[in-house]
Structure 1
Amino acid sequence: MKKVIFLIAALGLASACNQSRDIRGIPGPEEVEARMPDTIPNIGQEAEDLKNKGYQTFVYEDGGEQYLMQQYYIVFLKRGENRDQDSTVAAQLQQQHMAHLSRMASEGYMSLAGPFGDDGVIRGIAVYNTPTLEMADSLARLDPAVQAGRLEVEIHPWWAAKGTELK
């Protein structure tokens, strides 16, 4: 009897682990490909409009699909050398830092920002949507936490397809 129960339990476990991707919620390659953005209408016109505003772009083609790639700027917000503020000043700087990031997003200069989950040297990132590295650098350095020396910035150009999003 114990062998029968063990066999039934083992078969049940094996079948549960062998569920289809749809049931477990993990997409297969064909589903991921199907979720990729379709060809952007008027991709040439959008590329030209961005170029006229000073942005760097190119069109990437893959499997009959076209993607308008744009250069963004990733700002690494790193631990600054001046972190000895008292808790009240540190809290005020954090509030001002968050207000700065919110303003950058609402004015369209920043596409994405967030902190890292560890206590490392790199505290967070912000992805700036500006035509030049100099503009991204200037805007990032307006951050009150950067101006106070609590954070430092390190900026790198980064390419991403227009219209893509985090999932």
Structure 2
Amino acid sequence: MKRILLLAVMALSFAATAQTVNPKYDKDLAELLGADEYGMKQYIFVILKTGPNKIEDQTKLNTIFRGHMENIQRLAKEGKLVVAGPFMKNDNGFRGIFIFNVKTLPEAQALLENDPAVKEKILEAEMYEWYGSAALGEYLETHEKIEQKKP
């Protein structure tokens, strides 16, 4: 019994010493981004799928998707949306993704309610809690510098 206890203590002490402190750690930046001790935080991951509503009127459809894009840009400026983008054609009906910088599914649902394409049921959303790098949204500033045309 003592031998098992000794092995358990040795294993735990090894695990505790296996983690190291990052010499590049920036406490202020971590706090600003809402990072935990691993540099991570919770988001809501959304898969946008083809919805049940089909709109044949191309002018109306264009207006809805223009509103969809404006909503994406607004949410990104507010810091509530850190990733958005379309999928290429696929057999699953997947149209795009959002990664919302919110912690709860109801918060994400409230953001989706303002999206014209979701509101019109052209797109429908599947939402999941997701844990990722707190630095995820930091790429947006760089993206603005390489984006030649705005959608």
Say whether the fold is shared (TM-score over 0.5).
yes
Q: Is the 8 A contact 2:44 2:103 kept in 1?
A: no
| CA deviation after TM superposition for structure 1 residue 39, in Å | 4.1
**Which among 160, 164, 167 is matched to residue 132 of structure 2?**
160
The aligned counterpart of 1:54 is none
Choose between structure 1 and 2 for higher RCO, CA contacts under 8 A separated by at least 6 residues.
2
Summarize the alignment of residues 8-157 of structure 1 with structure 2, pairs less than 5 Å apart.
39-42=24-27, 46=31, 50=34, 58-60=36-38, 68-120=39-91, 121-157=93-129
Helix, strand or coil: the match of 1:59? coil
User: What amino acid maps onto 1:76 in structure 2?
Assistant: I
RMSD: 2.6
Q: CA shift at 1:58, angstroms?
A: 3.9
CA distance in 1, matches of 2:123, 2:130: 21
Q: Decide whether aligned partners of structure 1 residues 161 and 39 sit closer, same or farther in structure 2, where only a CA change above 3 A counts.
A: farther
Query: Which one has a bigger Cα radius of gyration?
Result: 1
Gaps of 5+ in 2: 1-21, 140-151
Alignment TM-score, normalising by the size of structure 1: 0.61
**Deviation for aligned residue 1:141:** 2.3
Give the deviation of 1:59 after TM superposition: 2.4
For the Cα contact (< 8 Å) 1:79–1:152, is it kept in 2? Answer: yes
Quote the offset at 1:119 in angstroms. Answer: 4.3
8 Å CA contact 1:141–1:153 kept in 2: the answer is no
Counterparts of 1:78 and 1:159, CA distance in 2: 22
Identity over the aligned pairs, expressed in percent? 34
CA distance in structure 2 between the aligned counterparts of 1:79 and 1:129, rounded to whole angstroms: 23
**Secondary structure of 2:37's match?**
strand
Paired with 1:162 and 1:83, the residues of 2 have a C-alpha distance of 37
| Cα drift, residue 107 of structure 1 | 0.8
Asked if the contact 1:75–1:140 (Cα under 8 Å) also holds between the matched residues in 2, the reply is no
Give the alignment's TM-score, normalised by structure 2: 0.67
